[in-house]
Amino acid sequence: MLQGPVFAAGGAVVADEKLSEIVVNGTTPLPGLGLPLRDVAANIQTVAGKEITRQHAGNITEFLEQNLNSVTINSAQGNPYQPDVNYRGFTASPLLGTPQGLSVFQDGVRINEPFGDVVNWDLLPQSAIANLQVMPGSNPVFGLNTLGGALAITTKDGRNNPGGQVEVSGGSFGRKTVEVEQGGTVGNIDYFLTANDSKDKGWGDHNPSSVKQFFGKLGYQDADTRVALSLTAADNDLQGTQTIPRAFLNNRRQAYTFPDENINRAQLWNLSASHFFNEKLQLSTNAYYKNYHNNNISSNVNGDYDAVNNPVPANNTRSVIDQGSYGFGAQLSYLGKLGNMNNQLVVGVSGDFANSRFKQSRQDADFTASRDTIGLDAFMSGTDAKTHNSNLAIFISDTLALNDQWSLTGSGRYNYARVNISDQTGNQPLLKGKNTFTRFNPGVGLTYNPSPAITAYATYNEGMRTPTAIELACADPNAPCSLPNDFIADPALKPVIARTGEFGLRGKLGPVSSWSASIFRTALDNDIQFISSSGASASTGYFQNVGKTRRQGAEVAAHTMVGPVGVTASYSYIDATYQTGFDEHSASNSSASAAGVITVNRGNKLPGIPENTLKLRFDYAPTSSWNIGTNVVYRSNVYARGDENNQDTNGKIPGYTMVNLDTTYSLTKQLQIFARIDNLFNRQYANFGVIGQNFFNGPGHSFDGGSISNEQFIGPGAPRGGWIGLRYSWS
């Protein structure tokens, strides 16, 4: 039995043995006995940590975008560590208030932050990742927020990662990085430590980053039991540049306004244990505590500016989140017989709880000639709210081998979720509320293996997302909020229900070639969307249940070796549409009525989701010491937020093709030199857009409240950049 499949982009899994011997460990939240890939009714994608290291991507989200099928990113915040990650049209974003549709796990701990369900991609060092698996669809076993998929990360330990290394690199945009790693064993005890310190000035004006990450794990293992205590810690200072109006494209590096800063600090303690009662029965458990602090400062145009009655042109907003979250999980896996048929049963329980404090204050400000905001008075407190999240669940998954060719999996999860909100200022008594959501979500899958080299599968499953405190407190079209949000008293929202059907094929052609193909459809009821109000801020709006939406499409992928050349290719088509019509306020949309209203019709495309993506990866090894790699990524055009009716005269954000190069050369067995070039042909592109108002039409793009234009704002991508580094390893 193999530890697991090695890296393959786009769902094409590569292994050195028969397909039936590959074991997938990411089919449940907690690591368990694993399930043979032949019995997995899904187009699962798996990445080994060594492949992440080999490509030298700047961060994990860049690697996901360049290698995994149906994954794209949006640079909505203008910082490389804070993109929106989209998979099959669903999002895992660090931006508070973004409707989330993906769940993310680290060693069985759900790392979507309880306050807003956001995912902070900057908190875990890449060097700590042993492998990750992307499970598509609304798999109920993974619980809340698994509308379009789940990503399960397994971290390294000293027993499987002995030895150490130190790495230094530097290059474009003033980026300098130092990374260290050490693992080993002493008898039954194993340990693993890794840390990095990365700083860069940013490719644009006013978007530097300082990232300090640490991961450590101490473990004990004997013949039957494994216990590990890990700590993940981060202290990061990330600044962004927002989107910019097209009128600013004479200089793509400039900021619309600044400063915009996110300070993220977090410590996650996770105690995990597993025990084999015998070779067929395993218990896996974990308990965790996480402390998370976020301090955000945003510069904004005053959308109500009036030269006579409201002559203050700007404001600064400060938002602070203090959050303590804790929880547990327990999962029992059993291999046995049901009659004469092999059977694998997994049952589990989980509990996730959090106490959060959200404070927001504002300050009147003026703009300098360079659009920097200068405070005119002290910050005035506006919002002070406490929230408490309670999520409890029971889940079950049972896989039955009907015979040598057919297997059937049934699964389900009962979720109980509660969100309590209370006002601490005494000025918003209507903000106080208790919201409870419950549902049982089922799933069923069938696989057919006519030979060891081919698998066909079909699956249907359901998932659920509960409205977050942010969404519950900002759902009034007449009182739009900014992101991060003001809290006000608003009508309750309904939970989002996802129903996914998928059919696929995968297989091998000889010892070094593999392929996969699938078609899928995910239909959402009561989908929650952030509806832009198209004011001065590109992130002003409200949350609304918009009825039904749908993501459907197809994926194909393949991998092969031709002599010293490895080729991986993947293509995805995603058709993301509204299935229920509605009216929304989007005054900056050129097709809006005199009242600023647009009508979204059934069949209109969801903004920000490209229909077509194509990815190619080439690896060439001219010698045993030298490897050269190339990533080619194509993504088609997308609609801008605020253009939900697809009628704005600005049209779509154009598609683009990106080429990246990486290479590694071993000078000795211990010393390697590596280099990477991103955006080789220096392509000018954008991967995000929103319709808004441009207040900077004065000389040199200075503030002019008397000359306001409706424009399409875009999130420009980074220009060409190159980095070089050295890695020294020891055993």
User: Does 4 reside within a domain?
Assistant: no
Distance CA 725, CA 727 (A): 7
pLDDT of residue 480: 63
SS3 category, 583: strand
Highest mean pLDDT, choosing among 29-38, 376-385, 423-432, 633-642: 633-642
Neighbour-count burial for 505-533, b at 16+ CB within 10 Å, e otherwise: bbbbeeeebbbbbbbbebbbbbbbbbbbb
The number of folded domains in the chain is 1
| Distance in angstroms between the alpha carbons of the first and the last residue of the chain | 26
Nearest to 147 by CA among 157, 155, 137, 156: 137
Statement: residue 532 has pLDDT above 90: no
Assigned token pair, 556? 């194909």
153-194 tens-digit pLDDT: 999 999 999 999 999 999 999 999 999 999 999 999 999 999
Mean confidence (pLDDT) of the chain: 90
Determine which of 209-223, 482-496, 553-567, 673-687 has the lowest per-residue pLDDT on average: 482-496
Nearest to 137 by CA among 123, 148, 122, 128: 148
User: Does 378 reside within a domain?
Assistant: yes
**Average pLDDT of the residues in 116-131:** 94
Distance CA 11, CA 135 (A): 10
pLDDT-derived band of residue 537, with 50, 70 and 90 as boundaries?
very low
User: Does 309 reside within a domain?
Assistant: no
pLDDT of residue 29: 79
**141 DSSP assignment:** G
By percentage, how much of the chain surpasses pLDDT 70?
Answer: 92
Distance CA 317, CA 540 (A): 13
**Average pLDDT of the residues in 483-497:** 61
Statement: residue 405 has pLDDT above 80: yes
By percentage, how much of the chain surpasses pLDDT 90?
Answer: 77
Statement: residue 540 has pLDDT above 90: no
User: Does 688 reside within a domain?
Assistant: yes
Q: What are the φ/ψ torsions at residue 291 (nearest 5 degrees)?
A: -110, 125
pLDDT of residue 9: 38
Determine which of 206-220, 269-283, 367-381, 540-554 has the lowest per-residue pLDDT on average: 540-554
User: 25 or 264: which carries more pLDDT confidence?
Assistant: 264
The C-alpha torsion from 395 through 401 and 402 to 406, rounded to 10°, is 100
444 bridge partner residues: 410, 460
How many Cβ atoms are within 10 Å of 249's Cβ, its own excluded?
A: 13
Q: What are the φ/ψ torsions at residue 60 (nearest 5 degrees)?
A: -65, -35
Give me the domain span that covers residue 496. Answer: 9-149+158-300+314-321+328-444+454-730
Q: What are the φ/ψ torsions at residue 109 (nearest 5 degrees)?
A: -95, 125
Distance CA 319, CA 357 (A): 10
Q: What are the φ/ψ torsions at residue 299 (nearest 5 degrees)?
A: -100, 135
User: 19 or 379: which carries more pLDDT confidence?
Assistant: 379
How many Cβ atoms are within 10 Å of 9's Cβ, its own excluded?
A: 26
Burial of residue 279 (number of CB atoms within 10 Å: 0-12, 13-18, 19+): exposed
Neighbour-count burial for 554-588, b at 16+ CB within 10 Å, e otherwise: ebbbbbbeeeeebebbbbbbbbbbbbeebebbbbb
Strands 149-155 and 341-367: unpaired
Statement: residue 725 has pLDDT above 90: yes
Q: Specify the amino acid at residue 86.
A: N
Distance CA 529, CA 541 (A): 10
User: Does 307 reside within a domain?
Assistant: no
Distance CA 400, CA 397 (A): 10
Neighbour-count burial for 659-674, b at 16+ CB within 10 Å, e otherwise: bbebbbebeeeeebeb
pLDDT of residue 528: 85
**Average pLDDT of the residues in 358-370:** 93
pLDDT-derived band of residue 481, with 50, 70 and 90 as boundaries?
low
425-464 tens-digit pLDDT: 877 766 677 889 999 999 999 999 999 999 999 999 999 9
User: Does 350 reside within a domain?
Assistant: yes
**Average pLDDT of the residues in 246-269:** 93
pLDDT of residue 600: 95
**Average pLDDT of the residues in 294-305:** 90
**Average pLDDT of the residues in 561-570:** 95
pLDDT-derived band of residue 339, with 50, 70 and 90 as boundaries?
confident
Query: Residue 166 is inside which H or E element, if any?
Result: strand 163-171
Residue 512 sits in a domain of what CATH number?
2.40.170.20
Q: What are the DSSP calls for 316-369, one per residue?
A: EEEEEEEEEEEEEEEEEEEEEEETTEEEEEEEEEEEEEEEEEEEEEEEEEEE-T
The C-alpha torsion from 686 through 690 and 695 to 699, rounded to 10°, is 20
**Average pLDDT of the residues in 49-73:** 95
pLDDT of residue 8: 40
Assigned token pair, 200? 């860069």
User: Does 2 reside within a domain?
Assistant: no
What is the number of residues in the chain? Answer: 731
Nearest to 573 by CA among 610, 616, 548, 605: 610
Statement: residue 487 has pLDDT above 50: no
412-428 tens-digit pLDDT: 999 999 999 888 887 77
pLDDT of residue 536: 45
pLDDT of residue 361: 93
Assigned token pair, 147? 């509308």
Q: Using an 8 Å Cβ cutoff, are 142 and 135 in contact?
A: yes
User: 30 or 408: which carries more pLDDT confidence?
Assistant: 408
Q: Using an 8 Å Cβ cutoff, are 200 and 209 in contact?
A: yes
User: Does 220 reside within a domain?
Assistant: yes
pLDDT-derived band of residue 488, with 50, 70 and 90 as boundaries?
very low
